[in-house]
Amino acid sequence: MSINCLEGNLFGLFLIIYIIILMSNGTIFLITKMDPALQSPMYFFLANFSFLEICYVSATLPRMLLNLGTQRRRISLVACATQMCFTLMFGGTECLLLAIMAYDRYVAICNPLHYPLAMNHRVCLRLATGSWTIGIPFHIGQTCQIFSLPFCESNHISHFFCDIFPVLKLACGDTFVNEMLVYTVAVLFGMVPFLLILGSYSKIISIILKLPSATSRAKAFSTCSSHLMVVVLFFGSAIITYLRPNTRHSEGTDKVLSLFYTILTPMVNPMIYSLRNKDVIIALRKLICK
């Protein structure tokens, strides 16, 4: 009875979280498309980011809600592979998109005169398309390689979705090659974008500190602070999860960290971007008053 009660409470909690994520990110996506004041490259990428967050959380939460609601903790091999593949693709896209958003801020602050030309609509469209598509063959190949392994008799995944390391633990035989592939892809789609973001922001901060007035410095910092908070929250948990040695992976820690980058980050991102952005707040007020 207590287990059923706990699962019922978890179902209610995650359902509320899912609705909040859909509504908040959907609202950000809507206002960036409708409001004429939010048609700059920064808001174009923010619209992509909000839509991505909806896709990312929809790869894991609906299945979790189904399992909690029906109390049947089962998933087929095909469904598990599909969930893993989409989770990896959306996660990789988020890393690349955050790096592109950092580059956008770098050009806007460090080369403002070239910004309209360097970040015109065609360039923005190509960058966004690349972030969505470039990782697809890597993640499909990685998923196929993992699910081509022979699995032992135990088929219990100690996780709330089909993540790489919990699935690899079920495989029989040597998984060294698969683990090396995981680390390679994590470096390409996680560490490299993160280092590019750090490089962009180191240059941005050095330029901002040279601005003559405190007002101009505060205005420049305000355009970057929201994005920087999201970067720390997402990359911090994701890099720790996927770049730790496999011997140091613990089930409890992995579950907590995965909650950060798959559920908590998509939930708080709209709050971070809206509460710290005057243009978004004004657009929200217009939408509410209509």
Q: Is the pLDDT of residue 277 over 60?
A: yes
Band of residue 248 on the pLDDT scale cut at 50, 70, 90: low
- Distance between CA atoms of residues 55 and 127, nearest Å: 19
pLDDT tens, residue by residue, 125-142: 999 999 999 999 999 999
Q: Is the pLDDT of residue 24 over 50?
A: yes
- Distance between CA atoms of residues 29 and 205, nearest Å: 28
pLDDT of residue 1: 44
Phi, psi of 154 (to 5 degrees): -70, 130
Average pLDDT over residues 23-43: 91
Domains and CATH numbers, the chain: 3-289 (1.20.1070.10)
Average pLDDT over residues 18-42: 91
Which residue bears the tokens 């109390």?
71
Band of residue 215 on the pLDDT scale cut at 50, 70, 90: confident
Give the whole-number percent of the chain exceeding pLDDT 90: 42
Report CA torsion sign: 145, 78, 68, 260: positive
Phi-psi region of 173 (alpha: psi -120 to 50; beta: other; left: phi over 0): left
Please, what is the average pLDDT of the chain? 86
Helices (H) and strands (E) in the chain, counts: 14, 0
144-149 long-range CB contacts below 8 Å, 24 or more apart? 144/81, 145/178, 145/181, 146/81, 146/84, 146/171, 146/178, 147/77, 147/80, 147/81, 149/173, 149/175, 149/178
The predicted model scores a pTM of 0.90
Average pLDDT over residues 19-36: 92
Average pLDDT over residues 109-127: 93
Band of residue 246 on the pLDDT scale cut at 50, 70, 90: low
Q: Is the pLDDT of residue 262 over 50?
A: yes
Which residue bears the tokens 């008053």?
289
Band of residue 275 on the pLDDT scale cut at 50, 70, 90: low
- Greatest CA separation for the chain: 67
